[in-house]
Amino acid sequence: MLPFTRPTLDTEEFEAIKEVLQSGWLATGPKVAAFETALADYIGGDVQLRVFNSGTSALEAVLLAYGIGPGDEVIVPAMSFVASANIIVRCGATPKFVDVDLISRNIDADAVAAAITPNTKAVIPVHFAGRAVDMDPIYQLAEQHDLLVLEDAAQAIGTQYKGRRIGSLGNPVCFSFHPNKNMTTIEGGALAINDPALLKKIEGIRFHGIERDAQGGMDVTAWGGKMNMPDVSAALGLVQLKKLDGFNRKRRALVERYFQQLPVHDALVLPADDAEGHSWHMFCILLDWEKTGLNRNQTLEALKQQSIAAGIHYPAMHLFSLYRQYGYKPGDFPNAERIGEQTLTLPLFPGMEEKDVDRVCSAVISLLNDS
């Protein structure tokens, strides 16, 4: 079975984990410090990096540190993994969904501008599947309306925007290192930022609100959670980070093969291949089920019969039961809803070979030819 994704792990990763297990220091320690330094060097731009037990925790910590809470609205795309909206609810604020572009699946400044109200305090652009959002006009809007911009780059480690890596500009940007991401720490995430005051609050939120003086004395002046990364994860991250650019180059080569093999067909919508610096976390196509004469479950089963697994990334968030309670309903965001209904995530990971792509494309083409 060819999975839709799989982490790329080798002897070096296993040895790094073994070293930590043998050291006796398994929780946050020297490997975490080294990983944060290595990430900061990789991202560039004189930012500081702090790692977390998940990308979700990193996003939540920023909203909490910024004081986002009841009565506040946060703009977020209707097409993303549900964590992008769940953190808003967790803080007591209200998610304000906006539609996305059908091809890039990203929001744009016009959608953000139309959603701003006097209660809007923040916007969370999501760099979907590793493709950078056009950030300059969004930052211009944020400056005009005094909004926090919190970039959800969970799927975009290594992505570039206008020649610079996402995260290098100093505003809060969060990454994920879940096993299905471009690099993994098993579970884990990170925050890139260069605001010392906000960073101090975030560090407290990350670990019980604990502050220490020069002599090691401890005080707790505000609430904090338990969001720290253990050394065993950081050790894995240090090895994976060295390989990340190579992983992303392989992803790009596999994607180019997809574009070469998949046909132009009125039932098929491909992602655009025109974004510089795209790290290609996923390769998501849209299939018009009415034109193919199949539904998604039948298509997934047909692929499974050929030992190919596919994913669904993602259902439109505003149609989940939780978010319908906020008044959202079918028809609110047509592009997000079409994507949610028609999306199919084809296999993409560095361990694949061109022959694997050819096999997937042959299966998809067969389905299209039968329609």
The count of C-alpha atoms lying within 13 angstroms of the C-alpha of 325, restricted to the half-sphere facing its C-beta, is 6
Distances (CA, A) of 267 to 272, 305, 331: 16, 22, 21
Single out the catalytic residue among 31, 181, 201, 250.
181
Backbone angles phi, psi at 283, to 5 degrees: -120, 100
The 8-class DSSP code of residue 254 comes to H
Whether 31 is catalytic is no
- Beta-carbon neighbour count of residue 143 at 10 Å? 10
- Beta-carbon neighbour count of residue 293 at 10 Å? 11
User: Strand 160-161 relative to strand 164-165: parallel, antiparallel, unpaired?
Assistant: antiparallel
Cis-peptide into 314, omega within 30 deg: yes
Backbone angles phi, psi at 281, to 5 degrees: -65, -40
Task: Please give the positions annotated as active site.
Answer: 181
